[in-house]
Structure 1
Amino acid sequence: MDPMLKDAFAQRRALKVISGLNNFDAANVLAVARAAEAGGATFVDIAADADLIRQVKEAISLPVCVSGVDAQVLADAVEAGADLVEIGNFDAFYAQGIRFEAEEVLAITKATRALLPNVTLSVTVPHILALDEQVALAEQLVAAGADIIQTEGGTSSHPISAGTLGLIEKAAPTLAAAHAISRAVDVPVMCASGLSDVTAPMAIAAGAAGIGVGSAINKLNDPLAMVATVRQLVEALDGAVVGIEA
């Protein structure tokens, strides 16, 4: 694992900025990547496209993760320069009515590890599974070679409140998954999907070693606003770690 990532996970303050699995808009992805670096993020997560990977690698010095659901596509991404890979960011598929069951995620993980035996591998546990099934799958994924487990849940939550309470309601499913899974596996757990600077500290308190944030940043049209949002998240994580250590 990249030393920067390893240290961030050990300190429980890793921040992954996600541009989007299906976001191939180079201008937007580069803006997100530059904002991630300027704001103090740990690494970025982009779509599996060779040209996009090269452009981002040239633009920033942060580790670049590539997301996908096909082992060969992820292997090709590493060939193009990706530093690590992620099986997941399933939200884009749920909208199309496509589900990923435990057996399929485990099979993709085994196939990816076979092609990439020495590359850091993160795997998302689908939130469509019951919580006990998520924990069981996480344990199987680690046994199959996953280095990082990521949680999700934003699309399954339907907040009914406004403001801070609504933000907490939106993050509840992924926070619950992070709490349960982090107690069952001995690899870093990334809490992602529906998080904000309000709920980032809750993710760390729940047991996560870091968070992944996408739409809160990549939907912004102003690069300065992107940087400001990343910095708010970094500060929230730093505050969470200080609070836990105290």
Structure 2
Amino acid sequence: MNGTQIISGLQNFDKDSVASVVIAAEKGCATHVDIACDPELVKLALNLTSLPICVSSVDPVAFPTAVEAGAQMVEIGNYDSFYEMGIQFSSDQILKLTQETKKILPSITLSVTVPHTLSLPDQVKLAELLEQEGADIIQTEGGKCTNPSKPGILGLIEKAAPTLAAAYSISRAVKIPVMCSSGLSAVTAPMAITAGAAGVGVGSAVNKLNDVIAMIAEVKSIADSLGPSTRCVSEEFRIVQS
């Protein structure tokens, strides 16, 4: 089954906003939810969904309390808020954060995002090194500020091109799963799978919406574009049988 991870944002600590994203992920047939690294948010999410919860941070020391609260995965990533402040991460910094996280939590599932600010060859090289350091999942990104020059479907494809290129290249260089994230839509999510990704991560396409119903519809549209979710198919089967 192709994964669909819905992302609320590394700096989003607003409980109402996070709750809406989690509900949308649950009801829209996503497979994972990714929230800021905060134990209270983890507890909130656990009350709203049975989906695996991933917490994101660039501070490895913050992970243990969130894991103790019930998070099943941790991620070094979701760098958008730092880019907006003019902060970028080097390969050496990402490797150091990965090593620190593995030392603190050697058994937890670890996802690491490869910064889009690196050249594509350097992204591939970093992914290979991350695999050697014990990362379980590599996530790609394309940059929040990617502005397409074309309207409509052409624009959607143009916006997704950087992360699709990274997913294609990295998935052929590593054996661990690659999650393709940033700038994806129902049009381009299937392209990520074709490019070699094991799943997609979606953030702003969902969390920019103010209405929970619209958020659920967006998640469902993206999840459906990847094929029927096993979880949702079984739920529909139970409804038909009852």
| Cα deviation, residue 157, structure 1 | 2.7
Amino acid at match of 2:50: S
How many residues are paired up? 228
RMSD: 1.0
Deviations 1:190-231 (A, max 9, x none): 000010001001101110000000011111111111111111
Question: For residue 116 of structure 1, what is the aligned residue in structure 2?
Answer: 105
Find the counterpart in structure 2 of residue 189 from structure 1: 178
8 Å contact 1:157–1:172 — kept in the other structure?
no
Aligned partner of 1:167 in structure 2 is 156
Aligned identity (percent) is 58
- Please name the residue that 1:40 is paired with: 29
Question: In the alignment, residue 196 of structure 1 is paired with which amino acid?
Answer: S
1:57 alignment partner AA: L
Residue identity opposite 1:164 in structure 2:
I
Tell me if structure 2 keeps the 8 A contact 1:154–1:171.
no
Q: Structure 1: 5+ residue runs without aligned partners?
A: 1-10, 240-246
Query: How many Å separate the matches in 2 of 1:179 and 1:74?
Result: 30
Gaps of 5+ in 2: 229-242
| TM-score, structure 1 normalization | 0.91
Paired residue type of 1:21: L
Q: Give the CA deviation at 1:233.
A: 0.6
Matched residue type, 2:175:
D
Matches within 5 A, 1:82-231: 82-155=71-144, 157-231=146-220
Q: What is the CA-CA distance between 1:156 and the residue it aligns to?
A: 5.5
Partner of 1:3: none
Counterpart of 2:47 in 1: which secondary structure? Answer: helix
Change in CA separation of 1:192 and 1:207 when aligned onto 2, cut-off 3 Å: same
Which residue of the partner structure matches residue 227 of structure 2?
238
Matched to 2:172, the amino acid is R
- Asked if the contact 1:84–1:121 (Cα under 8 Å) also holds between the matched residues in 2, the reply is yes
